[in-house]
Chain A
Amino acid sequence: MAVYNPFSLQGKTILITGASSGIGRATAIECSRMGASLVVSDINAEGLQETISLLQESENIHRMIIANLANEEDIELLINGLDKLDGCVFSAGVGSTKVLPFYSKTELQRVFDINYFGPVLLTNLLVKKKLLAKSCSLVYISSIGGVHFFSPGNGIYGASKSALDSFVRFAAIELAPKHVRVNSVCPSRVETPLIKSVPISEKEVQIDKAKYLLKRYATPQEIALGCVYLLSDASSFMTGQSLILDGGRLLT
């Protein structure tokens, strides 16, 4: 008798963007362990190759497509390489720490291109080209920053994630008739290359971690498992919501 597992991704094909490192890579690994066939994408070919080598070997065929989601032609290229999807995790993202006097159009454009326009335009084409299978689940990696938590220097990044988190609700409403579910995951800080780009020291990191009820940042795997839940049939009644994974940070 087959083992009862409502979190299984057996038989599902899932696209993951930003899969060369961090949350995207961890999600690809966990999805492969849960039985999914994967299409992983990123701008970083080397990292992507390494991700592929870390995926659970099975009868499933995993594929990689190199694409820069800040570039519309690359989004088209990615789309043209796809067959019907049962799930998609939009994990490609960049960080930015700047206080107001140092904002620039260039920086706003760079961050919004990757964190907001990229996933929205990719979704637009996935819908238009009818690449979403019935009961497909779309998962967007948002953040508590800009959605539930506001700190100095995080305005550009936070606003891009807030825009993305808002989009999730609109997409959930419009795609519900197609039985497509749309949700976001809002992590606090996660041990990934992205947070290393923020100009804070190791000592400041220790002080910051003390503010979490669980006294640490998340591992990428812990966020990936939230994505597995949202991709799986275990979350079949959940749409238009954010899954907050913050180690209790919002309560302190």
Chain B
Amino acid sequence: MEINNFIEKFAEIFEDTDTSVFSAQTEYRNLDEYSSIIGLSIIGMVDEEYNVMLKGEDLRNATTIGDLFNIVKSKM
């Protein structure tokens, strides 16, 4: 599992935020476009791509995309 691939899949969920915004350091919950539906979409993407079932709590415990990547990795 590679972080660049994770960031790419993560960025695909967003419609209006430019892909250049996304990096391991991005504090994703502070993005204007972030919403509960985006949160559910992240859970869906992680389930589909990595076969890991995240909880809402996992999303909140992660400040950056890199943090979330590590949480997913720890559950694989």
Partner-B contacts on A (CB < 8 A): 97-99, 101-102, 152-153, 199-204
**A102-B47, A102-B48, A152-B36 are contacts. A199–B41 as well, Cβ < 8 Å?**
no
Q: Determine which residue in B43, B45, B47 has the highest number of CB atoms from chain A within 10 A of its CB, and name it.
A: B43
Cα-based distance from A97 to B41 in the complex (angstroms)? 10
1-37 of chain B: CB within 8 A of chain A? 36-37
- The answer to whether A152 and B40 touch across the interface, beta carbons within 8 angstroms, is yes
User: Which B-chain residue is minimally distant from A205 (CB atoms)?
Assistant: B56
Chain B interface extent, by class: 10 to 19
- The answer to whether B40 and A153 touch across the interface, beta carbons within 8 angstroms, is yes
The 29 listed contacts between A and B (C-beta, < 8 Å) are A97-B40, A97-B43, A98-B40, A99-B37, A99-B40, A99-B41, A99-B44, A101-B41, A102-B44, A102-B45, A102-B47, A102-B48, A152-B36, A152-B37, A152-B40, A153-B37, A199-B43, A199-B53, A199-B55, A199-B56, A200-B57, A201-B56, A201-B57, A201-B58, A201-B60, A202-B57, A203-B57, A203-B60, A204-B57
User: Which A-chain residue is minimally distant from B44 (CB atoms)?
Assistant: A102
Residues of B within 8 A of A202 (CB): 57
Query: How many A-B Cβ pairs are below 8 Å?
Result: 38
Is B54 on the interface with A (CB-CB < 8 A)? yes
- The answer to whether A204 and B56 touch across the interface, beta carbons within 8 angstroms, is yes
Partner-A contacts on B (CB < 8 A): 36-37, 40-41, 43-45, 47-48, 53-58, 60
Among A101, A200, A201, A204, point to the contact of B44 (Cβ < 8 A).
Answer: A101
Residues of B within 8 A of A99 (CB): 37, 40-41, 44
Cα-based distance from A153 to B48 in the complex (angstroms)? 15
- The answer to whether A201 and B48 touch across the interface, beta carbons within 8 angstroms, is no
- The answer to whether B55 and A200 touch across the interface, beta carbons within 8 angstroms, is yes
- The answer to whether A199 and B45 touch across the interface, beta carbons within 8 angstroms, is no
Residues of A within 8 A of B54 (CB): 199
User: Which A-chain residue is minimally distant from B38 (CB atoms)?
Assistant: A99
Cα-based distance from A97 to B45 in the complex (angstroms)? 13
Residues of B within 8 A of A97 (CB): 40, 43
Q: Determine which residue in B40, B48, B57, B58 has the highest number of CB atoms from chain A within 10 A of its CB, and name it.
A: B40
Return the 8 tightest CB-CB contacts between A and B, nearest first. A201-B57, A102-B44, A153-B40, A99-B40, A200-B56, A152-B37, A201-B56, A199-B55
Q: Determine which residue in A99, A200, A201 has the highest number of CB atoms from chain B within 10 A of its CB, and name it.
A: A99
User: Which B-chain residue is minimally distant from A152 (CB atoms)?
Assistant: B37
Residues of A within 8 A of B36 (CB): 152
User: Which B-chain residue is minimally distant from A197 (CB atoms)?
Assistant: B53
Residues of B within 8 A of A153 (CB): 37, 40
Extra pairs beyond A102-B48, A153-B37, A199-B43 (19, CB < 8 Å): A97-B43, A98-B40, A98-B44, A99-B37, A99-B40, A99-B44, A101-B44, A102-B41, A102-B44, A152-B36, A152-B37, A153-B40, A199-B53, A199-B55, A200-B55, A200-B56, A201-B57, A202-B57, A203-B57
